[in-house]
């Protein structure tokens, strides 16, 4: 029961739960936003009732997802001031700006034009309505940018200096803070993953209609759009993932070592799967490519990267990172989450290739039940990859909540153990954690029922209304 007596751990678990729950809906809303814009563009060009029906169908699915994303995001922001008060005091001068910008600029833009999509089809011009669809998607991407800016600063602080009393990070250069070493690579990597998620959701719905023999014209249009978006974004992910790996290796060597379970300096192997024996500090695996990870990060199989023990011995991180710290690190958790992401990307690539080939090859997917079944379950692949990526990113920077990156100003770092609110007790955290679980369970069941109802209903009735 030590778990229930540790307020820092409980606060971390509660925030992790909220963040992971929130990140069910964010990928879908940003990814589906592009699908909405594409289908509205198709309707603008064709002016066919069935294309208008398809656009309205996706708007409804997007709206149901968007609403829950907003609600869970607000909960996360409140927790900075409640569960993580000392963190808020330390970074308040910096962290508040991107969160405010996200609410005032991005969210306002997204919500206003979503209102146009919901209520303005017959009240505004066709061109304005089309632009509104694209602005909704642009607003969601802009919202992601501000959030990534805030999170990236925690990973690689910049544009700040330590206050005279050492209790606060003071902003000195907004642009340097906003566009720190990891902002752009992480933003491209993240948004591309979200677009893959949206494409796979659309692919699954289209495949389900094909499987049931319902709305086949709509289904084939959906599968064509989804497989095309998936192909482009999956190819781009190879580039963006490489860029992210390079930045992590350069700026966060402890995280890079945890991702591959490396305790000693070496040219890092590439593991397909395995298990980190933290007690004996070794990776147990049936397969490893010598120097494979080094090659992915530097294009050289021989490039050596420091292991956790050598980083501790180097004294670079002072008393915050010692041999005792290494022993307490959740290395296997980071290793497993990272490799889950890699494995899921392999399944994403395979599904994308198959779906694209057999969709654009005379629509053969229409008669391929096994591929339809694969497509129906395929949203699990990017969902697990995204969750694994965020677990890697956040747990991998431990024991810091503000990581002392290689390019960061001296003194700009904060241990997780020093960031929680001392006023919030373990019982209070345990109670709120339980309530969050119950409420979130209720909300996701409600969301699932709404989306399933929309999918079962389909676009058919909308076509009839257009003909009235």
- From CA 276, how far away is CA 284, in angstroms rounded? 6
Tens-place pLDDT, residues 426-463: 888 888 889 888 988 998 999 999 999 999 888 864 44
What integer is the mean pLDDT of 181-188? 95
Greatest alpha-carbon span in the chain: 76
342 and 237 Cβ atoms separated by less than 8 Å: no
- From CA 109, how far away is CA 116, in angstroms rounded? 11
pLDDT band at 230 (very low <50, low <70, confident <90, very high): very high
pLDDT band at 2 (very low <50, low <70, confident <90, very high): low
pLDDT band at 422 (very low <50, low <70, confident <90, very high): confident
**What does residue 399 show for φ and ψ, rounded to 5 degrees?**
-95, 20
pLDDT of 465 higher than 80: no
Looking up tokens 């041999």 gives 323
* Cis amide prior to 399 (ω within 30 degrees): yes
pLDDT of 25 higher than 50: yes
At 266, is the secondary structure helix, strand, or coil?
strand
- From CA 303, how far away is CA 251, in angstroms rounded? 16
Chain mean position to CA 158: 22
Residue 464's pLDDT is: 41
What integer is the mean pLDDT of 89-101? 86
**What does residue 403 show for φ and ψ, rounded to 5 degrees?**
-80, 135
At 161, is the secondary structure helix, strand, or coil?
strand
* % of the chain with per-residue pLDDT over 90: 59
pLDDT band at 235 (very low <50, low <70, confident <90, very high): very high
- From CA 184, how far away is CA 410, in angstroms rounded? 23
pLDDT band at 275 (very low <50, low <70, confident <90, very high): very high
- From CA 281, how far away is CA 278, in angstroms rounded? 5
Residue 137's pLDDT is: 94
pLDDT of 419 higher than 70: yes
Give rounded-to-5 percent helix, strand, coil for the chain.
Answer: 75, 5, 20
Residue 176's pLDDT is: 94
What integer is the mean pLDDT of 18-41? 91
Looking up tokens 């925690």 gives 154
Residue 462's pLDDT is: 46
Tens-place pLDDT, residues 376-398: 999 999 999 999 999 999 999 99
409 and 161 Cβ atoms separated by less than 8 Å: yes
Tens-place pLDDT, residues 135-184: 999 999 999 999 999 999 999 999 999 988 888 999 999 999 999 999 99
* % of the chain with per-residue pLDDT over 70: 97
Residue 183's pLDDT is: 95
Query: If 0-12 CB within 10 Å is exposed, 13-18 middle and 19+ buried, where does residue 442 land?
Result: exposed
pLDDT of 202 higher than 90: yes
Tens-place pLDDT, residues 325-369: 999 999 999 999 999 999 999 999 999 999 999 999 888 899 899
- What are the CA-CA distances from residue 125 to residues 41, 112, 382 (Å)? 14, 16, 37
Residues 6+ apart with CB under 8 A from 375: 203, 204, 206, 207, 223, 351, 355, 365
pLDDT of 73 higher than 90: no
pLDDT of 373 higher than 80: yes
């Amino acid at each position: 029961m030590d778990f229930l007596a540790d307020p820092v751990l409980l606060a971390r678990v509660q925030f992790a739960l909220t963040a992971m729950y929130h990140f069910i809906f964010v990928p879908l809303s940003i990814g589906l936003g592009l699908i909405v814009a594409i289908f509205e563009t198709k309707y603008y060009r064709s002016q066919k009732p069935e294309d208008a029906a398809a656009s309205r169908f996706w708007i409804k699915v997007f709206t149901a997802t968007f609403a829950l994303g907003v609600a869970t995001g607000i909960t996360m922001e409140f927790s900075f001031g409640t569960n993580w008060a000392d963190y808020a005091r330390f970074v308040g001068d910096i962290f508040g700006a991107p969160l405010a910008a996200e609410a005032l600029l991005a969210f306002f833009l997204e919500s206003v034009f979503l209102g146009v999509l919901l209520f303005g089809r017959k009240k505004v011009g066709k061109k304005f309505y089309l632009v509104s669809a694209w602005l909704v998607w642009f607003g969601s991407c802009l919202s992601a940018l501000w959030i990534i800016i805030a999170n990236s600063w925690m990973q690689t602080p910049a544009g700040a200096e330590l206050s005279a009393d050492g209790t606060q990070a003071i902003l000195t250069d907004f642009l340097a803070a906003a566009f720190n070493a990891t902002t752009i690579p992480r933003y491209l990597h993240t948004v591309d993953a979200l677009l893959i998620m949206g494409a796979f959701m659309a692919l699954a719905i289209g495949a389900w209609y094909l499987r049931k023999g319902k709305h086949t014209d709509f289904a084939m249009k959906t599968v064509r759009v989804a497989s095309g978006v998936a192909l482009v974004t999956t190819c781009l992910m190879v580039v963006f993932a490489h860029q992210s790996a390079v930045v992590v290796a350069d700026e966060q060597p402890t995280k890079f070592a945890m991702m591959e379970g490396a305790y000693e300096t070496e040219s890092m192997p590439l593991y397909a799967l395995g298990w980190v024996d933290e007690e004996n500090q070794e990776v147990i695996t049936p397969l490893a490519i010598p120097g494979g990870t080094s090659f992915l990060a530097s294009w050289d199989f021989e490039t050596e990267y420091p292991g956790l023990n050598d980083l501790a011995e180097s004294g670079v991180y002072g008393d915050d990172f010692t041999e005792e710290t290494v022993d307490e690190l959740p290395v296997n958790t980071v290793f497993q989450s990272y490799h889950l992401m890699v494995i899921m990307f392999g399944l994403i690539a395979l599904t994308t290739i198959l779906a694209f080939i057999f969709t654009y090859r005379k629509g053969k997917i229409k008669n391929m039940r096994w591929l339809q079944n694969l497509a129906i379950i395929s949203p699990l692949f990017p969902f697990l990859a995204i969750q694994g990526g965020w677990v890697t990113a956040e747990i991998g920077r431990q024991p810091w909540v503000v990581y002392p990156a290689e390019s960061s100003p001296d003194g700009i770092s904060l241990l997780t153990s020093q960031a929680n609110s001392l006023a919030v007790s373990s019982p209070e955290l345990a109670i709120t954690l339980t309530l969050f679980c119950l409420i979130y369970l209720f909300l996701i069941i409600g969301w699932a029922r709404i989306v399933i109802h929309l999918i079962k209903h389909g676009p058919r009735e909308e076509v009839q209304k257009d003909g009235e």
